[in-house]
Amino acid sequence: MASVSQLHQPPSFRVVLMARRSTVVALVCFVLIVLACFLLPALDLTAIGGMSVRNRLTPPGADYFLGADAFGRDVLGRLLIAGQTSLQIGLGVAILSSSAGIVIGLIAGFFRRLDTPLSRLIDAMMAFPDILLALALVAIFGGTVGNVILALSIVYTPRVARIVRASTLVVRELPYVEAARALGSSTLTIMVTHVLRNILSPILVQATFIFAYAMLAEAGLTFLGVGVDPSTPTWGAMVNEGRQYIDTAFFLILFPGIAIALSVLSLQLVGDGLRDALDPKLNKET
């Protein structure tokens, strides 16, 4: 347990996390996006969702700060509402698939007897092209937010599991893990204190990717013709709906496009910072 608390030793963690300016900027940026999406609509409910067809495709200006869409709805208002859904999808998938992937990967990497069946299952699931598996699952379950999260989590879980298993295979053969085993540490202890600690950074990096991928995949699903029911707007759906107005109203894809890119990018930069901060080897260096 000593090593775990050492891992989360507050000063060094914060120092490393904040050491990179890009991480700080990204973190601030992401927090602002989250706050905007979840707080602003709550403060001003009236401006959102109103339809005024005659004002369709009004460019950004005094009436509509970020313009109006094909139904004459305020783009800014919809952007914020849509952001809630997009962020929920990303976070949901990242948490669900990482947790499931860690459990499956650790077990597969650690228990030789379970390795084969679990690896076969991972292989079988990974054999499905990710977008297509998601496409099929969403087509079957129906396009609700929960179903999209579930479908994408099913898609990404084996990918985490495989990386966890591969890393576990290496780590468990490291001299100090072998030493711990020889000293009689229980399997669970070894798994948690040594192996999990060692593979935490690749998983965190992977989880930030999954957060990003899930948001992008949701946009892709919408593009392919399935996705979240349009009564629940997402950033991906907004970009996709804006496609046909690429000439007449470019701002319709520009703003949600920026929202996606900015969130995904800042998330990954934060993930990078986290990775450096959590890596015990790097901690020692600073």
In angstroms, what is the minimal distance from the CB of 257 to another protein?
A: 6
Q: Which two tokens stand for residue 226?
A: 């399935």
Q: Which is nearer to another protein, 39 or 258 (CB)?
A: 258
Amino acid at 282: L
| Contact between 169 and 107 (Cβ < 8 Å) | no
Nearer to another protein, 169 or 192 (CB): 169
CB of 80 to another protein, least distance (A): 19
Angle, CA 27 vertex, CA 211 and CA 264 arms, to 5°: 30
**Which residue's CB is nearer to another protein, number 1 or number 157?**
157
Strand partners, 74: 68
> First-to-last CA distance in the chain?
22
State the minimum distance, in angstroms, from the CB of residue 178 to another protein.
11
Tell me which DSSP letter residue 244 carries: G
Give the integer Cα–Cα distance in Å for 100 and 103. 5
Q: How far is the CB of 37 from another protein (least distance, A)?
A: 17
CB of 131 to another protein, least distance (A): 5
Question: Distance between CA 36 and CA 79 in Å, rounded?
Answer: 10
43 vs 100, beta carbon nearer another protein = 100
The nearer residue to another protein, 1 or 160, going by C-beta atoms, is: 160
